[in-house]
Structure 1
């Protein structure tokens, strides 16, 4: 009852803790940072003065019908599934489940996103290493309540508002999907920002007399 009322936070494997009433700074999710800057999520949080850490687990799996449709492969085809929990200054703020077709990365040095010589550098930079250039991913963003499992991982209450993002990266040359992910952002901590403010041709800011 205390968890449902938001007074206590349940942390799997650790116990129950009284929820802090201290306001947390709002984080802004923006489009992918420039190539070659490492983990996009880490770079984004670091730019906002937040220490980013994450846990991950990668396993081979078979694509179910939903993921197969998003990747343009047959249901049952092998994929690499990676589950993430991202933290900002130690507090969980984002979940992600990523799937990559083994037909794309299998047998390469980037098959494990968070292991090997190219661990943790992000989808775009990893794909570039195997000759696949991706553009800006396609994202579908909705708002909903957190499931009980998501709430436990994020340290919030079931049905707390979250932003749910379905993201897919495509090979720009071949047009095929090379990665798709379900991303869950804690609604009380995140705002999403899209687009780029134009810069005058001379590099100066617009002014009015």
Structure 2
């Protein structure tokens, strides 16, 4: 998210029912309960990115990590390790699309702008445990990826050899 000096985020989590599209991405049934967490990321006082994460409550309900933002549990991959689900893959599918009116209003951008839209599935060996939708104004940011090539100068943990 740019080179801004100050960064923050606001989040809101609630149990909700699943749409057909999200159910398909999570490989579960439409209507199954999920924990939906919505984020708005701020850099230098300006909203810059929206993200919505969906996790099947069948995996996390009643565990210390049921609420993505709750308590002192770790974030990301180590969070799922705490309940014995070991993540093996994360990904991002990037497309371009027009901004939805509510997104343009929330990010304070022109209503006719284009967004980068990222669909981000996360899986373990046997299950898809999360999917996320992320949007960012394509006029403001470049999406840039650096992927290490195994055996070419970095050890498996990402450190230099």
Same fold (TM over 0.5): yes
Cα RMSD (Å) of the superposition?
A: 2.1
Match of 2:157?
none
- Alpha-carbon distance between aligned partners in 2 of 1:149 and 1:60, rounded to the nearest angstrom: 21
TM-score by length of 1: 0.67
Q: How many residues align?
A: 154
Match of 1:150?
103
Match of 2:20?
65
Aligned pair partner of 2:133 in 173, 182, 186: 182
- Alpha-carbon distance between aligned partners in 1 of 2:153 and 2:61, rounded to the nearest angstrom: 45
Runs of 4+ in 1 over 6 A off after TM superposition: none
Match of 1:138?
91
Q: 1:78 to 1:132 in 2, by over 3 A?
A: same
Alpha carbons 2:55, 2:130 under 8 Å: kept: yes
CA-to-partner distance for each residue in 1:79-112, whole Å, 9 max, x for gaps? 0001110011221110011100001111111111
Q: 1:187 to 1:177 in 2, by over 3 A?
A: same
Please state how far the C-alpha of 1:126 moved relative to its aligned partner.
Answer: 1.3
Q: Which of these two proteins has the greater Rg computed from alpha carbons?
A: 1
Please state how far the C-alpha of 1:161 moved relative to its aligned partner.
Answer: 1.8
Aligned pair partner of 1:195 in 126, 146, 157: 146
TM-score by length of 2: 0.86
Aligned pair partner of 2:66 in 87, 90, 111: 111
